[in-house]
């Protein structure tokens, strides 16, 4: 049974290195230090969001409908994925009402169990 490789250390959340690769067909093994891909280092929730986003061809309205979340929540999750991939997120100047609405959506998602506490904190810290 194959298991998904971890992208982050379960103890300190640091990046993990792959140190051995093996071929199940011929039993060849290769040792060394190999990087994992950027997608492997994302949380399961972020990878699921990316799959939904791609399935919806980047149509935010479709993502909203499929996941049952609001536009600010979709934007927040997309920004989190962009940052997880190591790219800067352009900061839009949000009005106070938009900031309040975004925070409410994050807290609602947290209370419904759609977000982990860590992800909610990260999204709340974003400007």
* pLDDT tens track for 52-70: 999 999 999 999 999 999 9
The number of CA neighbours under 13 Å toward the Cβ of 51 is 7
Contact 41, 84 (CB under 8 A): yes
Give 29's strand partners. 22
The number of CA neighbours under 13 Å toward the Cβ of 74 is 17
Domain presence at residue 82: yes
Domain presence at residue 68: yes
Domain count for the chain, please give it: 1
Domain presence at residue 9: no
Residue 98's domain is classified under what CATH number?
1.10.10
Q: What is the pTM of this model?
A: 0.57
User: What is the rounded distance in angstroms from the CA atom of residue 103 to the CA atom of residue 72?
Assistant: 9
pLDDT of residue 36: 77
pLDDT of residue 8: 78
Residue 117 belongs to domain spanning: 41-125
Buried b or exposed e, range 16-30, using 16+ CB within 10 angstroms = eeeeeeeeeeeeeee
Domain presence at residue 34: no
Kindly state the average pLDDT of the residues 14-24: 86
* pLDDT tens track for 100-124: 888 888 999 899 998 899 988 888 8
Percent of the chain topping pLDDT 70: 95
């Amino acid at each position: 049974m194959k298991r998904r490789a971890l992208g982050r250390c379960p103890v300190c959340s640091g990046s993990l290195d792959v140190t051995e690769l093996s071929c199940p067909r011929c039993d060849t093994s290769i040792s060394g230090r190999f990087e994992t891909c950027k997608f492997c280092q994302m949380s399961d929730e972020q990878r699921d969001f990316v799959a939904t986003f791609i399935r919806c061809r980047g149509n935010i309205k479709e993502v909203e409908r499929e996941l049952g979340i609001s536009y600010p929540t979709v934007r927040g999750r997309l920004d989190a994925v962009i940052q997880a991939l190591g790219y800067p997120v352009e900061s839009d100047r949000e009005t106070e009402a938009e900031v309040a609405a975004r925070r409410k959506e994050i807290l609602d998602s947290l209370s419904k169990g759609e977000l982990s506490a860590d992800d909610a904190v990260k999204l709340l810290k974003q400007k």
